[in-house]
Chains A and B, each alone.
Chain A
Amino acid sequence: MDRHFFEELDSLKKELLNMGSLVEEMVGIAVKALVEHDADLLETIRQNEARVNRLQVDIDEYCLKLIALHQPTASDLRFLLGISKINAELERVGDHAANICKGISVILEKEQIKPFIDMPQMVDIVGSMFRESLHAFVNLDVDKARTILLRDDQVDQLRYKIIQELVDLMKKDPGTVETAVCLILTANSFEKIADHATNIAEVVIFVAQGKDVRHHFEDPLL
């Protein structure tokens, strides 16, 4: 394989990291919107979403071109497959971040139905899981990737608790239904972002070590 191919791999990685930082900004805005009750950043979300969609198509095209022209093997092949998978994950995260912001702008127009306690905690964990999944990819840091996998359950539990409380609230006071449903959808979107961060962490382990840890076929603690 020639030097040119390795330069192309580097440039592809930079493209993906560009996309990652755009999506990271979107997740940050979604977190801020919820925690600080600030929905003024919707326009930034819209702009980022359009750029992320464009990058998703460009990156897949780039991967396809490199696979077809250079027939990579071993770590290079895993790297390209990994990029293509993470590309899809990032695009979905961007969509969830946009949905969260749209939902929150609706919530903020209504009267607050309860103080947020578990939601900010969950959002904080999700934001850091996502950031760290990208850092794990940059350095192909398997240890960091494995710690992300272990935090997903914590997010699932918090989401369950949030939904239970909101369901109880709706039973007691049907007037809260509209806002409570929006909050449930928001909690679901954050939980999905955690799932995507987990998927990215699994890809990092695959790219670095060639091990497929999805669906617990291989114990992530090993």
Chain B
Amino acid sequence: MDNSAPGIHNKIEIIDLDLYYGQFQALKSVSMTVGGNNIVGLIGPSGCGKSTLLRSINRMNDLIEGVKIKGRVLLDGVEVYGSKMEIYELRKRVGMVFQRPNPFPLSVFDNISFGLRVEKSYNRKKISAIVEKSLRAAWLWDECKDKLHESALTLPLDQQQRLCIARLLAVEPEVILMDEPCSALDPIATMKIEELMMDLKKNYHIVIVTHNMQQASRVSDLCGYMLLGEMVEFGRTSDIFTNPRDNRTQDYITGRYG
């Protein structure tokens, strides 16, 4: 299946990707591209492989024992699983937001500046400027400017999640992977994250895994439906949710699956 969007530079290309956890095949010849100012949504029932696919983009699956990968993942044309790709560099360029906000048990300021201090190439003034810029980009500056030195763990959940996004933005990633970023949030907090995503997509490539189909239809421009490790259908979200090509997609999004 050709899952590329014509005429758009492909930031990420996944070609015939197979992934095994031991004997279990979690991804079966999956192909997908991410490019343009599109948010890509991945939907499908639990265990269909969507999180595995997301995590294979920045090699988070490497940490799991017994993982075997065949096929190609390219970032700007360079093999993600090739020898030329530095993992540290890859994870800086391809950041990740998780299901539950995971701020470090540090102050708001230190959370954001953590990645910058690892690089050691910034002075204090520059770091302060980047912290403010990142918090503003995550729409958190007004809420946090007076508590920069308070523990990040005291923030409400949606602010913690936006803090995690701000922490990513500080190291200037190119791609943001989101693994069910709103599943721990209430509808208003979810709306804030979704609005932030729409804002961020102008400058970043975003891939989001979600169980919430309304969320996929609201925020994504392209959408992939996965089932039992296969990419059943990948296309424009507006087509998937009004007239899907595959009956399995139709059954899932109309709630007739299972």
Q: Which of A72-80, A100-108, A125-133, A189-197 contacts B (4 or more CB under 8 A)?
A: A72-80
Report yes or no: A1 in contact with B243, Cβ–Cβ below 8 A: no
Interface size on A, residues (CB 8 A): 13
State in angstroms the CA–CA spacing of A73 and B241 once bound together.
6
A139 within 8 A of B: no
Contacting residues, chain A, for B255 (C-beta < 8 A): 1-2, 5
Q: Mark A179-222, 1 if CB is under 8 A from B, else 0.
A: 00000000000000000000000000000011000000000000
Contacting residues, chain A, for B217 (C-beta < 8 A): 73
State in angstroms the CA–CA spacing of A69 and B254 once bound together.
14
Q: Which of B221-258 contact A (CB under 8 A)?
A: 241-244, 249-250, 253-256
Q: Mark A1-42, 1 if CB is under 8 A from B, else 0.
A: 110010000000000000000000000000000000000000
Report yes or no: A1 in contact with B241, Cβ–Cβ below 8 A: no
B243–chain A nearest beta-carbon distance, Å:
3
Contacting residues, chain B, for A78 (C-beta < 8 A): 242-243
Report yes or no: A75 in contact with B254, Cβ–Cβ below 8 A: yes
B232–chain A nearest beta-carbon distance, Å:
14
Contacting residues, chain A, for B213 (C-beta < 8 A): 73
Instruction: Assess A74 versus B214: contact at CB under 8 Å? Given A210-B242, A210-B243.
Output: no
Report yes or no: B254 in contact with A72, Cβ–Cβ below 8 A: yes
Contacting residues, chain B, for A5 (C-beta < 8 A): 255
Contacting residues, chain A, for B241 (C-beta < 8 A): 73-74, 77
Contacting residues, chain B, for A76 (C-beta < 8 A): 254
Report yes or no: A77 in contact with B242, Cβ–Cβ below 8 A: yes
**Other 18 A-B pairs with CB < 8 A, given A74-B241, A210-B242:** A1-B255, A2-B255, A71-B214, A73-B217, A73-B241, A73-B253, A73-B254, A74-B242, A74-B243, A74-B244, A74-B249, A74-B250, A74-B253, A74-B254, A75-B250, A76-B254, A77-B241, A78-B242
Which residues of B approach A to under 8 Å, CB–CB?
213-214, 217, 241-244, 249-250, 253-256
